[in-house]
Amino acid sequence: MARPLRICQYFGALRPDQGTNLLPNQGGVARAVIDLSEALRRAGHEVSVLRSGPRPAITMRSEAAGRALMLETSLPAGGLLSRRGLQAAQLALEGADALHLHEVWDPGCLQLARLARQIDVPYVMSCHGSLDDYSMGRGTLKKRTYLALAGRRMLQRAAAVHCPAAAERRQSMKWYPKGRPVVVPLLMDLAAFVELPGDGPAIALLPALDHDLPRLLVLGRIHEKKGIERLIDAATDLAQDGMVCSTVVAGPGDPEYVASLRRRAVSRGIGNHVAFPGPVSGTTKVSLFQWADLFVLPTHEENWGIVLFEALAAGTPVVTTRGVDVWQELEQTGAATLIGAGPGELTTTMRRLLLDRGELRQVGAAARPKVLQQHSREQAVGRYIDLYRDLARDTTA
């Protein structure tokens, strides 16, 4: 029997809850780190989760991810690690089988990659979409300079550059041509979707909406790249054609940007039919997915899009774009419709799908068990364990 692994994960921006535990409901990269760490721990492996902050190194405990260590920085979280922070990191890395770094633009990753090489610990770098074409088209000069000075060297010296989808590998590897990209699907914790709560909690959250109307949902970080303006405009077009919908835009976001979306809905005459409940989690979040007839994410770019698979795990079909790196995987579920950037295409697609809400439910129900099975935590974590073992200095039992 193979011995348990010792793995260190680093994501500098990971936030603690009251300084003692890792927040379980964070999204994006933080969610990926916590879910992977918890799955590794449940599989019997030792996991240390490293983050950074402007205070001395402290050790935290988290039921979700095992041991968590905060590394002191000379700047706020995500900045360069101080000497004391690097000393704490070296203690954590001693005897580790692998270091998994998350977020290429964090200078702390440069320092930890160098440290790992010095003490002969292989490291994996997950870019989480940072090197996708859309992302590299913004802040281009700063990013290219960072890569030229040190980032490309860090990537090309990594034991592996982790990409969750072939589309990310194809877009990113031009920035580290001598690197070793590997495709391992992102681990998702869909346990909360095995037993669905029904739409009751969602209806209770949204008392002002008419729940007899067709229901549209977008959930996640509210950001300009998500294309939410396009969803509001398409909902407006449908309303003008006599198909009024109840639309929910749920998740955290910059207050000014969220306010601009509210104003957009009001100015187009559908303000009473669009709700912004803010961040949601737990049973309410699962219920919202189940409440919706369609989950709509007309995004410009999305590395993995956990929320898309969560919608499918709740039995809700999705509409999104090929800006999602996993569009091929989504298409294979049979419950995802992919659209282009053409004007009116989102409106036409939603109108066609919403004409038969009963059929939508059947399509979503058929895809649900496939998604739960193919993306189970137990199956996915095995791929990471295999990757770490391949890279480990000692794979003997």
User: Is 22 contained in some domain?
Assistant: yes
For residues 43 and 140, membership in a common domain is answered with yes
For residues 24 and 97, membership in a common domain is answered with yes
For residues 55 and 198, membership in a common domain is answered with no
Question: Which position has the higher pLDDT, 130 or 63?
Answer: 130
Query: In this predicted structure, what is the pLDDT of residue 27?
Result: 61
- Mean pLDDT along residues 200-219: 97
For residues 94 and 225, membership in a common domain is answered with no
Which of 208-222, 250-264, 382-396 is predicted with the least confidence, judged by mean pLDDT?
A: 382-396
For residues 150 and 124, membership in a common domain is answered with yes
For residues 226 and 148, membership in a common domain is answered with no
For residues 90 and 181, membership in a common domain is answered with yes
Query: In this predicted structure, what is the pLDDT of residue 79?
Result: 72
Three-state SS at 378: helix
24, pLDDT greater than 80 = no
| Radius of gyration for the chain, computed over Cα atoms and rounded to the nearest angstrom | 22
For residues 203 and 216, membership in a common domain is answered with yes
- Mean pLDDT along residues 34-43: 88
107 to 81, 83, 214, 216: CA distances (angstroms): 8, 14, 46, 40
Query: In this predicted structure, what is the pLDDT of residue 380?
Result: 84
User: Is 178 contained in some domain?
Assistant: yes
Q: Under a CB-based contact definition with an 8 Å cutoff, are residues 249 and 276 in contact?
A: yes
Separation CA 43–CA 393 (nearest Å) = 20
Query: In this predicted structure, what is the pLDDT of residue 76?
Result: 47
User: Is 103 contained in some domain?
Assistant: yes
User: Is 1 contained in some domain?
Assistant: no
Percent of the chain with pLDDT over 70: 89
User: Is 181 contained in some domain?
Assistant: yes
Question: What's the domain range around 173?
Answer: 6-189+376-391
Question: What is the band of 397 on the pLDDT scale with cuts at 50, 70, 90?
Answer: very low
In this prediction the pTM is 0.81
Three-state SS at 262: helix
Q: Under a CB-based contact definition with an 8 Å cutoff, are residues 301 and 323 in contact?
A: yes
User: Is 234 contained in some domain?
Assistant: yes
Question: What is the band of 191 on the pLDDT scale with cuts at 50, 70, 90?
Answer: confident
For residues 175 and 59, membership in a common domain is answered with yes
75, pLDDT greater than 60 = no
Question: Which residues touch 370 (CB under 8 Å, ≥6 apart)?
Answer: 333, 334
- Mean pLDDT along residues 19-47: 75
Q: How far apart are the first and last CA of the chain?
A: 6
Query: In this predicted structure, what is the pLDDT of residue 22?
Result: 46
For the stretch 267-311, pLDDT in tens is: 999 999 999 999 999 999 999 999 999 999 999 878 778 899 999
Question: What is the band of 327 on the pLDDT scale with cuts at 50, 70, 90?
Answer: confident
Q: Under a CB-based contact definition with an 8 Å cutoff, are residues 377 and 39 in contact?
A: yes
Three-state SS at 52: strand
For residues 337 and 271, membership in a common domain is answered with yes
For the stretch 329-368, pLDDT in tens is: 899 999 999 998 777 999 999 999 999 999 999 999 999 9
21, pLDDT greater than 50 = no
- Mean pLDDT along residues 253-263: 96
Q: What is the mean pLDDT of the chain?
A: 88
For residues 240 and 293, membership in a common domain is answered with yes
Q: What is the CATH number of the domain that holds 38?
A: 3.40.50.2000
Question: Which position has the higher pLDDT, 379 or 201?
Answer: 201
Which of 78-87, 155-164, 223-232, 274-283 is predicted with the least confidence, judged by mean pLDDT?
A: 78-87
Separation CA 262–CA 268 (nearest Å) = 10
One-character DSSP codes across 90-152? HHHHTT-SEEEEE-TT-HHHHHHHHHHHHTT--EEEE-TTTTSHHHHTSSHHHHHHHIIIIIH
User: Is 397 contained in some domain?
Assistant: no
Instruction: Tell me which range, 33-37, 107-111, 128-132, is most confidently predicted by mean pLDDT.
Output: 107-111
Q: Under a CB-based contact definition with an 8 Å cutoff, are residues 311 and 295 in contact?
A: yes
19, pLDDT greater than 50 = no
For residues 228 and 336, membership in a common domain is answered with yes
- Mean pLDDT along residues 139-146: 91
What's the number of domains the chain is made of?
A: 2
